[in-house]
């Protein structure tokens, strides 16, 4: 069974806020002795997510 992937566009503040929230959830799970692998995997995906590149048309003169 394949899972559908979803893309979300976040600005830098929103990305930091998401990582902070996931980190807080991870800390709570650690305190409760619960597994954290899923949260850690998701945090790494968010931290390593590529940023969109600027369009080359905007940076080059028209020929």
Q: pLDDT tens for residues 3-20?
A: 898 888 999 999 999 999
Range of the domain at 18: 13-44
pLDDT at 23: 97
Q: How far apart are CA 50 and CA 37, in angstroms?
A: 22
Answer yes or no: is 25 within a domain: yes
Report the number of distinct structural domains present in the chain: 1
In residues, how long is the chain? 63
pTM of the model: 0.73
Mean pLDDT value across the chain: 86
Least confident piece of the model among 9-13, 29-33, 48-52, 58-62: 58-62
- Which has the closest alpha carbon to 45: 25, 14, 19, 9? 19
CA-to-CA dists, residue 13 to 17, 19, 44, angstroms: 6, 10, 17
Answer yes or no: is 36 within a domain: yes
Answer yes or no: is 53 within a domain: no
Answer yes or no: is 2 within a domain: no
| 43: DSSP letter | H
pLDDT band (50, 70, 90) for residue 60: low
């Amino acid at each position: 069974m394949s899972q559908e992937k979803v893309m979300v566009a976040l600005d830098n503040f929103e990305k930091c806020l998401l990582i902070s929230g996931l980190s807080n959830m991870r800390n709570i799970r650690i305190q409760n002795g619960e597994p954290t692998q899923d949260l850690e995997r998701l945090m790494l995906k968010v931290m390593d997510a590529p940023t969109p590149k600027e369009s080359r048309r905007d940076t080059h003169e028209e020929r």
